[in-house]
Structure formats: structure tokens, C-alpha cells
Amino acid sequence: MEIKSKPEGDIEKIDKTTSYQLPNRFKIIGLILFIVSFFSVPLISIYLENNKYQDLFQRIGSTVIILSLLIIAISKEKVEDELIAKIRMQSYHYAVIATVIGYLSLPFIFYIISFSFSKTPKMEAIKDIPIFGVLLCTQILTFRKLKKAYNE
């Protein structure tokens, strides 16, 4: 597929928006936040066992874990080139596919394990399936929009 000529301003805006990355020093910040929050979540459940704010603090800790991993994921490498950009895109691609497949297969795996060890196995519903629907719809719509922008 050949990219048609497009006014440089539009393509530059798209590239600037889609390729935003934090400076490399944020990897260290993300790693420190991850380690602190990773160890704080179990400690919160131990030390705040009967505290009315336990759920809030655990949720904050879990959110910081995810945000710190996001910070690490979108931070630049020391040397950013086309190979690193390609590897980054492939890793996002594989991560999304593996997460969706793994998350959708987990209830069946748990059911098989439950069936093996219990007289009354129970299939647990996945409560986060709409998130994967939104994720995949966003990817499809973004892909179509970017494809159209590059080919117009």
C-alpha cells in the first residue's frame, strides 16, 4: 500500500500524538513507584485489616501499580531508533492479544480445576469483559482513522 501525499501538518500532528513518550528518567521513577506500591498493597491488608479505609488504600496501591507500569512502558529508551519503535509496537500488539486470550480462557481453566477438586464446580463470570470490548473497539477505530489519515 502506498502512502498518498498529505499536507505535512496533519501527518506531523498524528505522529506527535501517537508517538508520545516520557523521557528515559521516568523509567526509574516508574520502577520505584512500582516497588513501593507492590509491597504496600499486602502490607495495607495486614496492618489495616479492620480499618474502614482499607479498601480505599488497597485500590490506591493497585492503581499506582498499574500507573507505574504504564510510566515504564511509555518511557523512552536511552537510544530510540526505528528498531526500538518496531519492537515497542510488536510488544504492545503481543501484550494485547495475550491479555485478551489469557483473560478469556481463565474462567474455563478455573472451572476445570474446580471441577477436578469440587463436587459442585462453579463457573465464575468475568466482570471486566466490557473493558476488553472498549480496548479492542478503540484499537479498531484508531487503526481505521489513522489508515484513512495516511491514505487521504
Q: What is the pTM of this model?
A: 0.71
Kindly indicate the confidence band of residue 39, based on its pLDDT and cuts at 50, 70 and 90: very high
- Taking a C-beta distance cutoff of 8 angstroms, is the pair 37, 61 a contact? yes
Max mean pLDDT range (32-36, 116-120, 144-148) = 32-36
What is the per-residue pLDDT for 10?
A: 65
Nearest 5°: the CA angle 16, 22, 26 is: 180
> What is d(CA 71, CA 27) in angstroms, rounded to the nearest whole number?
7
Q: What is the pLDDT of residues 73-106, one digit of tens each?
A: 989 999 888 888 888 889 988 998 998 898 888 8
Alpha-carbon torsion angle 41, 107, 97, 127, nearest 10: -60
- Residue 138: pLDDT band by 50, 70, 90 thresholds? confident
